[in-house]
Structure 1
Amino acid sequence: MGLEENARVSCLIDRNSSTWNTTLVRAVFEEEEANLICRTPLSMTNVPDKMVWRCTRNGEFSVRSAYHLMNEMVDMVRGQTSATTQNWTLWASIWKIRAPNAYKMLLWRASLESLPTTLNLFKRKVVDAPYCPVCLTEEETVNHALWSCRSAQVIWGSSSRKLQKFQTVETPFPELLFLMFNALDEETMQEVAATIYQIWRRRNKMIFEHKFASPTEVVMLAQQAVIDFQEANRGRSGEPTRQT
């Protein structure tokens, strides 16, 4: 089941009850996105959808406002040349890694700090508190969820020795990834990607399915995923082939 190209958010709402059409939402979106959508509060006023240009007070597009927006973006890039270059380098490294596309997408979203952590959801007023659903003691940033949470640190401490050396690093997640890509070989980065995927998957399973894998199980799943992917992509020459 899918939506038409020009479909709007209102297509996902039951007009009679002013609630989400959960059957349709879960048929169109993946489980994680569907759960987040269904938890988003809806307005009871039934205001119709409309397109709004955020750069003008009346919400209507104008060439002048677009010109000013373009200049602001150019100035921003000029003022953040070093950071922008690092970001592009990081993103290029993520998409070049030999790993499933789901892993790359997760790493990319994590590097943009755009994962639906409780802190990000709290900022959007989707949830009532920003605390980590695993440890319940700190705000769940991307870095906390995937790296610094005590639960995640146990997993990283059980991973390969090359990764254990990074346990003392305390830095925002995009910078951590950047450091790893510059210090670790490709196979270890495959392990990093698989481990991050399994940590995030375990977190979601705990929230939505009330299941919580042990650190040993997470490490084994990540390491086996790397082996399985390498075997599945091994070319006739015996070397792993690049994804197309």
Structure 2
Amino acid sequence: MDLVREIFGEDEAETIQKIPISSTGAEDRLIWQGTKDGVFTMKSAYYLQNELNALMFHQSCLIIKKKTIWTRCWSFKIPNALKTFMWRACLESLPTRLNLAKKRICESPKCLVCLSEDETMIHILWNCPFAIDVWRQGPSGLHKSSIRPRKFSDLVEALISTCDQETMELFAIITRSIWGRRNQFIFENSFAHPFALAQIVKNSLQEFKAARQKPQASSRGMVEGIGIWNPPPPSVIKIYWDA
């Protein structure tokens, strides 16, 4: 847990600690993914290398484009922790239900919020009806977007090519807030109202930028400025919901 806290921070470390261990109780073991039985063979390694070479050849034309896009993304005036979250979301490395089901940590990959589709990154952060409710409170360029990508990384690339930096910074914060809202629903049985969540996002971005302009800003001010991806306590969420 000390290593988990060091890498992810206190909030995410607590969430990770709540993830149940595999129900099968099977011990970890080394396997070779190039064969169905998990046993390494030279023949399978040869075919796998050919597939990788072909994949690199077809993707080489996209390298310059992707590098330009991510250079712009990392220049956003948002906390590094939020940039890291965006990067992990684009790599599909966050513990969605689909990822947990693949690792046999949970039985069903279904989204626990809408119960209608598998919980992939693009679903929970963009396509889920409860995520759409939040996006409708954001910039018109986002909630009116007709983009229907297959992966979250495709969505980020498409938006970066059409939206200005301020809109993309807001997009990043809203995305992290939707993920935090999802975690609170699963682990704390709390669910923030879309309007209240959108308002907190807007205020937090303004406070963070104001804090950056004050070299002598107190540590408390900095914490308040980044409060949006450290979701408000359940009591606050319930007040917003009742309102």
In the alignment, residue 118 of structure 1 is paired with which amino acid?
A: R
In the alignment, residue 131 of structure 1 is paired with which amino acid?
A: K
Corresponding residue number in structure 2 for 1:190: 169
Residue 133 of structure 2 corresponds to residue 154 of structure 1: yes
Residue 43 of structure 2 corresponds to residue 43 of structure 1: no
In the alignment, the residues of structure 1 paired with residue 53 and residue 39 of structure 2 have an alpha-carbon distance, to the nearest angstrom, of 25
In the alignment, residue 21 of structure 2 is paired with which amino acid?
A: R
* C-alpha RMSD of the superposition: 3.2
Residue 149 of structure 2 corresponds to residue 171 of structure 1: yes
Deviation string for 1:126-162 (max 9, x for gaps)? 1111111111111111111000111111111111223
TM-score w.r.t. the length of structure 1 is 0.71
In the alignment, residue 72 of structure 2 is paired with which amino acid?
A: S
In the alignment, residue 77 of structure 1 is paired with which amino acid?
A: M
Offset, 1:191:
0.5
For structure 1, the 5+ residue unaligned runs are 4-11, 13-25, 237-244
**Bigger mean CA offset, 142-151 vs 114-123:** 114-123
Mapping of 1:55-66 within 5 angstroms? Answer: none
Q: Report sequence identity in percent.
A: 34
Structure with greater helix share of residues: 2
Offset, 1:171:
1.0
> Does the 8 Å CA contact 2:137/2:198 hold for their aligned counterparts?
yes
Deviation string for 1:178-206 (max 9, x for gaps)? 11111111111111011001000000011
In the alignment, the residues of structure 2 paired with residue 151 and residue 223 of structure 1 have an alpha-carbon distance, to the nearest angstrom, of 19
Residue 15 of structure 2 corresponds to residue 32 of structure 1: yes
Corresponding residue number in structure 1 for 2:211: 232
Corresponding residue number in structure 2 for 1:97: 76
Cα–Cα, structure 1 residues 66 and 97, in superposed 2: closer, same or farther, change >3 Å? farther
Deviation string for 1:5-55 (max 9, x for gaps)? xxxxxxx9xxxxxxxxxxxxx99x71122222x4334636xx6x7777878
Offset, 1:73:
4.3
> Does the 8 Å CA contact 2:23/2:106 hold for their aligned counterparts?
no
Cα–Cα, structure 1 residues 124 and 212, in superposed 2: closer, same or farther, change >3 Å? same
Name the count of aligned residue pairs.
206
Cα–Cα, structure 1 residues 184 and 129, in superposed 2: closer, same or farther, change >3 Å? same
> Does the 8 Å CA contact 1:118/1:131 hold for their aligned counterparts?
yes
For structure 2, the 5+ residue unaligned runs are 216-243
